[in-house]
Amino acid sequence: MNTAILQSNNKPLKQRKIIVAGKARLIFNADAEGVTRLRDLYQSDPQRILFPNIPDKDITQAVVVNTAGGLVGGDKISVEVTVEKKANALVTTQSAEKVYRSAGTDSKIEINLIVEAGSWLEYIPQETILFEGSRLRRQTHVNVERDGKLIAGEIVVFGRLGYGEHFQTGLIHDGWEIIRDGKLVWVDALHMQDDIASIIADPACFDGAVSMATTVYIGPDAEDNLPVVQKFLESLNSGVLSSVTCVNEILIIRWLSKDILDLRNDFCAFWGAFRNKIAGLPAKLPRLWNM
C-alpha cells in the first residue's frame, strides 16, 4: 500500500497509510409548486454534505466537505450532482482542496454534473492548492440538456505561496468533457508533469503565474452574452490576464495571475455579476467564499 507523505515547510510532518475513496452524490428536483427539493443524497467518508440556510432571494445551496483535510497519493474522491427538470441549485465547497506531496501515486478527483431541461446549476468549488511534489488527476464530466443552463469553474494555485513554496515537480492533469443533448461538444485538458517549474516560468506558457482559473457557461444564450463578458473583463483593472471565447453554445473564460488574491477577487466579481445578469440571482457568492 502506498505511503503518502504530508509535509510542512518541506519537512516530513507525518505519514498516512490509509487511502480514502469518498463519494458525494446529490439529486435535486422541483416539486409541484416549482420549489427545488433534495430528492436523493449519498455520502461516504471523507465526503460530507452540508445544507446552509438559503440567502434571501437565492437558490438552494449545498456545501461539500472533505473531512480528511486534503488528498494524498492514492486518494480518490468524487462529486456527482444532478439537477432534474426545472430545478435550481448551487454547489460549493467548505474550503480550498489541498493536494499534498505524493510518494509516487496519483490523487484523483472525478466530478459529474448533470443538468436536465429547464434547470440551472452552479458548481463553484473553492481553490485547489497543489503542494510541491503533488500528483493530481481531475476529470470533470458535464451533461446538459438543450435548454438547461450550467456555470461551473475552478481555481488552481501552484504551491503553498504563503510558505514560499511553489509547485515545481509532480503532476497535474485537469480535464473537461462537455456533452450537450447526447453529443460531445467540448473537450479540454491541462497536463503538466515532472519539470513543471520550467513550464510555468516560460513566457509562452504561464509566464510565472502562480494561479489560474477556468469558468464555463453552457446555455442557449451563451453567444448572445459573449459581448457582455468581454466588456466586464475589460472593466477590471487588477492586472490579471483574462480571455473569453464561445464555441457550441459554451462560454469559456480563463484567468492567469501572479497574485492569487487578485485572481480570486476577479473570479468572484465576475461570477456574482454573471449570475445576476443571466439568472436574476443576487450578485454575490456563498458566504463561505468570504470567510
The answer to the question of residue 280 being in a domain is: yes
Name the pLDDT band for 3 (thresholds 50, 70, 90).
very low
Query: pLDDT at position 5, please?
Result: 43
203-253, pLDDT tens digit by residue?
999 999 999 999 999 999 999 999 999 999 999 877 899 999 999 999 999
43-93, pLDDT tens digit by residue?
999 999 999 999 899 999 999 999 999 999 999 999 999 999 999 999 999
Question: Got the DSSP string for 52-100?
Answer: PPPPTT--EEEEEEETTSSB-TT-EEEEEEEE-TT-EEEEEESSPEEE-
Whether residue 121 is predicted with pLDDT greater than 60 in this model: the reply is yes
For 141, the domain range is: 22-208+259-290
* pTM attached to this predicted model: 0.92
CA distance 107 to 117: 34
- Tally the residues of the chain: 291
Which helix H or strand E contains 169, and what residues bound it? Answer: none
What is the phi/psi pair of residue 277, to 5°? -70, -45
Distance of CA 116 to the CA centre of its chain: 20
User: Pairing mode, if any, of strands 128-130 and 11-16?
Assistant: unpaired
The answer to the question of residue 228 being in a domain is: no
Which grid cell sits at 178?
A: 462537455
Task: Work out how many domains the chain is built from and give that number.
Answer: 1
The answer to the question of residue 129 being in a domain is: yes
The answer to the question of residue 174 being in a domain is: yes
CB 17 within 8 A of CB 3: yes
Whether residue 149 is predicted with pLDDT greater than 60 in this model: the reply is yes
Closest to 99 (Cα-Cα) out of 57, 160, 46, 42 = 160
CB count within 10 Å of CB 45 equals: 13
The answer to the question of residue 4 being in a domain is: no
The answer to the question of residue 75 being in a domain is: yes
Helices and strands, number each (H, E), in the chain? 3, 19
Whether residue 4 is predicted with pLDDT greater than 90 in this model: the reply is no
252-267, pLDDT tens digit by residue?
999 999 999 999 999 9
The answer to the question of residue 135 being in a domain is: yes
What single-letter DSSP state applies at residue 124? E
Mean pLDDT, rounded, of the chain: 92
The answer to the question of residue 231 being in a domain is: no
Which grid cell sits at 35?
A: 420549489
What is the phi/psi pair of residue 5, to 5°? -110, 125
Which grid cell sits at 100?
A: 499534498
